[in-house]
Amino acid sequence: MAATLPVAVTHRFPRGISWTRGGPALLECRSHALVDDDGGVWLVDPIDGPGLDAELAPLGRVVGVIVLLDRHLRDAPAVARRHGARLLVPPGRWRRAVPDGAEPIREQVVGCPFHFAPVVERDRQWLEQLLWWPQQGVLVVAEAVATLDAYRASAEAIGVHPLLRVRPPVALRDARLRPTLLLVGHGDPVERDATPSLLRALTRARRDLPLLFVALPRLLLARRRADPRPRSGC
């Protein structure tokens, strides 16, 4: 991914930041930095660009770069190399070559404060892990759920990916997941009522699928009219 556009911090929270790249983006990509109890900084699905290191420097030293979705490799290898940090990626058979030196994500990774669990395991199609930080109540989901209009039906705060609505991921229903902050790979975080919003989205995923398909063309057209500039994905 070209790193010519500057990064833009979209949210700051007590133990980290979220950012995207400047300019319009069709999928409203989000990357995150989480600061552990020892002051180490872990980057999740990072997008690189001018200004990134300046934003990260006050947080601490980057000790790890985490890729939660095989399609979200983004600039992770380059950022990890620049900072001399570990690179963690989903296990399984990728559609592309796995980056050199990458470590496969396990439920618990030595030296890493987070817990991981598989969300989608489809070799060469979709390999996604969730990140759960129980001490801070932070849940990070790369793709299975998001807060974009294109994911949401009616007024729900969170939406399940259209391709997963018939059978929503079981891992996201784990009773141990009680987030107070939900960070997603596409769209703004959910900072209030994160747990009930997530459970409601999962419960209504299949039921609201027809509503989503009816609303989606209208939502995309409205967005295009509001901002006709060319948009890119992530």
Lookup: tokens for 38: 């020892």
> Which among 112, 100, 114, 31 is positioned nearest to 69, based on CA atoms?
31
DSSP state of 97: P
Q: With 80 as the cut, is the pLDDT of residue 170 above it?
A: yes
Predicted confidence (pLDDT) per residue in 121-140, tens digit: 999 999 999 999 999 999 99
Can you give the residue ranges of every domain in the chain?
7-226
Q: With 80 as the cut, is the pLDDT of residue 38 above it?
A: yes
Predicted confidence (pLDDT) per residue in 172-215, tens digit: 999 999 999 999 999 999 999 999 999 999 999 998 888 777 66
Given a contact cutoff of 8 angstroms between Cβ atoms, the answer to whether 88 and 105 are in contact is yes
* pLDDT classification of 39: cutoffs 50, 70, 90: very high
- According to the CATH classification, is domain 7-226 in 2.40.160.40? no
From the DSSP assignment, how many helices (H) and strands (E) are in the chain?
4, 13
Predicted confidence (pLDDT) per residue in 74-123, tens digit: 999 999 999 999 999 999 999 999 999 999 999 999 999 999 999 999 99
For residues 59 and 99, give the distance between their C-alpha atoms in angstroms, rounded to a whole number: 26
